[in-house]
Amino acid sequence: MAQITSITSESLQAKIRELLPSQQGFGEDLQASNVILPTIDLTAAAQGTTTPQYLQTALAFGSQTAFFATNSTVTVANTAGFFRIFGASSIRGTGNQNTEFILTDGLASKIIWKQFSSGNAVLEFDFYIFLASGESLTATASSASSYLTGSSRQVADVDGKLVYPSGFTPQ
């Protein structure tokens, strides 16, 4: 005999509201049954996408912003949201030189990635950052023999909503 039991779990109800936005105003408790039912996973569709994450963050001609620093500091990103930063750092010659990425909120700065060398060295980088409103990421190369070059791409807005590659519309 089938039994139906009410479930009063705020965390489960919050997850239902998150995954099924059209159900946010639904006021009844969740229910559980001891009857075995086949399950169809609609999670991706309920979240509004069926495109895998690695494709959602793909590189695209219209979505990339290139940067290059040598003996200078350049702003890589200054819009609130999530960004993928990738490229290479190169130091040539002799003497102490460095390249670095710095996060700043306008008052304080934090080095989040740094290459230091007194000879020839090349390092690749590929990382994600989050910028809150008013924050920025800069790239610095300390001399004419140090280079920091790459590209940035916003992969999600400040609320975590994915930013698809330029020209792509999910079906």
R_g over Cα of the chain: 23
**Closest alpha carbon to 122 in 86, 94, 147, 89:** 89
Percent of all residues in the chain with a pLDDT value above 90, rounded to a whole number: 50
Same domain, 73 and 94: yes
Same domain, 65 and 142: yes
Same domain, 11 and 80: no
Residue range 31-57, pLDDT digits in tens:
777 777 777 776 666 655 567 777 888
**Closest alpha carbon to 122 in 95, 94, 99, 96:** 99
Count: domains in the chain: 2
Last residue of a domain, one of 30, 46, 62: 46
**Closest alpha carbon to 96 in 123, 75, 121:** 121
State how far the Cα of 142 lies from the Cα of 131, in Å rounded to an integer. Answer: 24
Same domain, 86 and 139: yes
Same domain, 68 and 143: yes
Dihedral sign of CA atoms 53, 161, 82, 151 in order: positive
Same domain, 77 and 141: yes
Sort 164 into a burial class: Cβ within 10 Å, 0-12 / 13-18 / 19+: middle
Indicate the pTM of the whole model.
0.70
Residue range 53-100, pLDDT digits in tens:
778 888 889 999 999 999 999 999 999 999 999 999 999 988 889 999
Q: Is residue 97 part of a domain?
A: yes
Same domain, 82 and 146: yes
State how far the Cα of 90 lies from the Cα of 112, in Å rounded to an integer. Answer: 17
Structural domain containing residue 100: 53-156
Q: Is residue 109 part of a domain?
A: yes
pLDDT at site 24: 60
pLDDT at site 10: 76
Question: Is pLDDT of 16 > 80?
Answer: no
For position 127, which CATH number holds?
2.60.120.1010
Task: Give, in order, the Cα–Cα distances in Å from 33 to each of 5, 13, 38.
Answer: 6, 17, 13
